[in-house]
């Protein structure tokens, strides 16, 4: 009995020592980026980290920035009343734009910088969370010095993309690989404005990084675990209000290609496919997106710390 008590006390001391070291490691950094593929649990992890460090959560997800699609985007505010905090943790740049709004990376960077500086000046720890690679790159490296685009050329590019995305992409060089309508429109408007392609501007030195040396945490579960979580999550999202969001998307004319699952939900609402087909296709598209994210993290994101399992919600 005494030996069991002894080993228990030793184990407890080792655990407390590990927790202490973990806290010391965490608190020496002034800012963080928490990222990972969709459904990895990065939002849960960031929230717990913010609780521990008196942190402010700053969104770096290009879809969660929109209001009215919280379920489709898997926002922390899905099923919650929109607010500037969750359980006392401040949340910034979530659900702030209407579906009618357009936002460039430069626009995002300016907003994120303001929230970062506000957090620092108020004595909070900024914690960026999200899985949008080009937002993360902008935070870490800044952006190229691309001239301002006139409303005329911006509208011209947007109209062309809406009318015929395939034709619009043919105006861009073969090196431009993006297919997302918003990114294609951005590349076109820059070309119309300057006569130079976006990839040429992007080859210039970048400026304006917000925090080039944050502590970078990657939540990176194995493929099997992630697929299981995705398959379990989609039906809950459908039941949680995603269908009403799809109806709002249809009414607004928002491009459904900008959010995984939006096209499938809208097709179901319009009676074009069954609910079973909707869920199956949404799961497939989400798995494909997660694969692209994992490739990006492997090739373009140098994590300081990697957690090789999903973070479960409390």
pLDDT at 183: 85
Structure tokens at 312: 């479960």
Angle separating helix axes 262-269 and 243-252, nearest 10 degrees: 90
- The reply to whether the predicted model has a pTM over 0.85 is no
User: Consecutive sets of 10 residues in the chain, 314 residues long: mean pLDDT of each?
Assistant: 47 43 58 98 97 97 97 96 97 96 91 98 97 96 91 90 90 89 89 95 93 95 97 91 96 90 96 96 96 95 97 87
Residue 267: burial class (beta carbons within 10 Å; 0-12, 13-18, 19+): middle
Backbone angles phi, psi at 32, to 5 degrees: -140, 150
Domain 224-294 has CATH 2.40.50.140: no
Contact between 79 and 240 (Cβ < 8 Å) = yes
* Spatial separation of the C-alpha atoms in residues 262 and 45, rounded to whole Å: 26
Do 2-144+212-221+303-307 and 224-294 come out as alike in CATH topology?
Answer: no
Q: What angle do CA 36, 40, 46 make, to 5 degrees?
A: 70
pLDDT value, residue 6: 45
Look at residue 104 in the predicted model and tell me its pLDDT: 86
CA diameter of the chain: 81
Q: What are phi and psi of 187, to 5 degrees?
A: -65, -40
Q: Look at domain 2-144+212-221+303-307 and name its CATH class.
A: alpha beta
Domain ranges of the chain: 2-144+212-221+303-307, 151-202, 224-294
pLDDT at 28: 63
The Cα 168–Cα 151 span in angstroms is 18
Within 13 Å of residue 202, how many CA atoms lie on the same side as its CB? 14
Torsion on CA atoms 29, 294, 219, 89, rounded to nearest 10: 70
CB-CB contact of 171 with 192 (8 Å): no
**β-pairing, 85-86 with 89-92?**
antiparallel
Chain center to CA of 242: 18
């Amino acid at each position: 009995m005494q030996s069991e008590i002894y080993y228990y006390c030793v184990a407890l001391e080792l655990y407390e020592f590990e927790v202490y070291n973990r806290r010391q490691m965490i608190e020496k950094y002034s800012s963080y980026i928490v990222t990972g593929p969709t459904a990895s649990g990065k939002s849960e992890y960031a929230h717990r980290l913010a609780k521990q460090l008196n942190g402010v959560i700053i969104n770096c997800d290009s879809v969660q920035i929109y209001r009215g699609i919280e379920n489709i985007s898997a926002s922390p505010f899905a099923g919650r009343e929109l607010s500037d905090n969750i359980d006392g943790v401040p949340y910034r740049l979530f659900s702030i734009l209407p579906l009618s709004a357009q936002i460039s990376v430069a626009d995002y960077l300016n907003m994120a910088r303001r929230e970062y500086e506000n957090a620092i000046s108020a004595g909070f720890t900024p914690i960026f969370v999200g899985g949008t690679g080009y937002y993360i790159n902008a935070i870490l490296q800044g952006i190229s010095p691309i001239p301002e685009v006139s409303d005329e050329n911006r509208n011209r590019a947007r109209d062309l993309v809406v009318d015929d995305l395939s034709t619009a992409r043919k105006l861009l060089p073969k090196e431009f690989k993006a297919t997302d309508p918003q990114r294609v429109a951005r590349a076109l408007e820059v070309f119309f404005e300057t006569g130079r392609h976006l990839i040429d501007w992007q080859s210039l030195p970048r400026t304006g990084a917000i925090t080039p040396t944050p502590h970078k945490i990657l939540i990176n579960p194995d493929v099997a675990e992630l697929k299981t979580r995705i398959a379990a999550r989609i039906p809950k999202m459908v039941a949680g209000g995603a269908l009403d969001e799809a109806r709002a998307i249809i009414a607004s004319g928002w491009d459904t290609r900008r959010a995984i699952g939006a096209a499938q939900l809208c097709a179901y609402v319009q009676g074009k496919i069954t609910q079973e087909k909707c869920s199956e296709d949404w799961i497939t598209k989400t798995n494909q997106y997660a694969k692209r994210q994992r490739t990006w993290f492997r090739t373009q994101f140098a994590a300081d710390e990697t957690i090789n399992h999903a973070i479960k919600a409390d």
